[in-house]
Amino acid sequence: MSEFSIMSFNLRYPAMDGHPVAERMPIAAELIRAAHPHIIGTQEGELDQLETLISLLPEEYIWLGEGHSGGNSGEFTAVILDSTRFDVDAVDISWLSEQPETVASESWGVSHARTLTTVDVRDLDTGRGLRVLNTHLDHRSERARLESGRIMADTIAEAAGPCVVTGDFNVATGSPVYDFFCSELGLTDTAAEVPGEDIGTFHRYRGPKAGEPRIDWILTTAGLRTISTRIDTFAVEGKYPSDHFPVEAVLEFT
């Protein structure tokens, strides 16, 4: 079977905002267990948070990544994989800056160092290769978002097979960086190809609201087709696992 499922999920870092990680991670784990995606691009999770989440998930899930300050320090753009479906061929952590190989490097007026996690995987069902790019673009600097897009474009161009991009892009569809990916590079926005709910993804723990901007995207290159997509509004007794809704897509190799 060539279908596989992918999720982009901003986990919300451990902020002092009245929504503690200790309460949220069990809900996040329940959401993931229910959806059971094969690949999850996460944003903002810190080490303890990611380790707690993984401990609450089925044992086939593994995670890969590095903190934005280097090693285990800071927020991760960690990729979580179902190891019974995908095998890892290569992992690369780079910084979205003028010195991508320099740990914790910053450029273009970013609020803090930003990482790109690139994982080359092999689908154990079909033998097909896939490159996964997962990121969290800067919320402050428009230039940084566009320059980051150009770095990602090089990573996509170097891929041997199809690519899927997950991330919190911190701007809405129709923005310059969205146009760069979808018009200039010709990537497909999975949610635009198969429209899901007309709700925003950044909800600030307030729940779904129609017409809000969708700032979390799953984008694909040629070689992948979108079968279905949705924004997952899962909650337990009115409590949400994050201030973002995860975006989910079912894809297949073409």
pTM over 0.95: yes
Cβ neighbours for 60, distance < 8 A, ≥ 6 positions apart = 82, 83, 84
In this prediction, residue 228 carries a pLDDT of 95
Under DSSP, the state recorded for 211 is: T
CA 39 to chain CA centroid, nearest Å: 9
In this prediction, residue 171 carries a pLDDT of 97
Residue in this structure with the two tokens 């007026």, named with its chain if needed: 109
In this prediction, residue 101 carries a pLDDT of 98
Separation between Cα atoms, residue 53 and residue 56, nearest integer Å: 5
In this prediction, residue 56 carries a pLDDT of 98
Cβ neighbours for 127, distance < 8 A, ≥ 6 positions apart = none
DSSP 90-124: EEEEEESSSSTTSTT---TT-SS--EEEEEEEEET
Reduced to 3 states (helix: H, G, I; strand: E, B; else coil), residue 153 is: helix
DSSP 161-177: S-EEEEEE-SS-TTSHH
- In terms of CATH architecture, what is 3-253? 4-Layer Sandwich (3.60)
In this prediction, residue 44 carries a pLDDT of 98
Cβ neighbours for 1, distance < 8 A, ≥ 6 positions apart = 125, 126
In this prediction, residue 248 carries a pLDDT of 97
Separation between Cα atoms, residue 135 and residue 71, nearest integer Å: 17
In this prediction, residue 193 carries a pLDDT of 82
Separation between Cα atoms, residue 171 and residue 238, nearest integer Å: 27
In this prediction, residue 198 carries a pLDDT of 81
Query: Among 165, 153, 152, 140, which Cα is nearest to 216's?
Result: 165
Please report, for the chain, the start and end positions of each structural domain, with discontinuous segments joined by +.
3-253
pLDDT tens, residue by residue, 222-239: 999 999 999 999 999 999
CB 119 within 8 A of CB 110: no
pLDDT along the chain (254 residues), means of 10: 94 97 98 98 98 98 98 98 98 98 98 98 98 98 98 98 98 96 98 83 95 95 96 97 98 97
pLDDT tens, residue by residue, 1-51: 789 999 999 999 999 999 999 999 999 999 999 999 999 999 999 999 999
Q: What angle do CA 146, 147, 153 make, to 5 degrees?
A: 90
Torsion on CA atoms 50, 36, 216, 224, rounded to nearest 10: 120
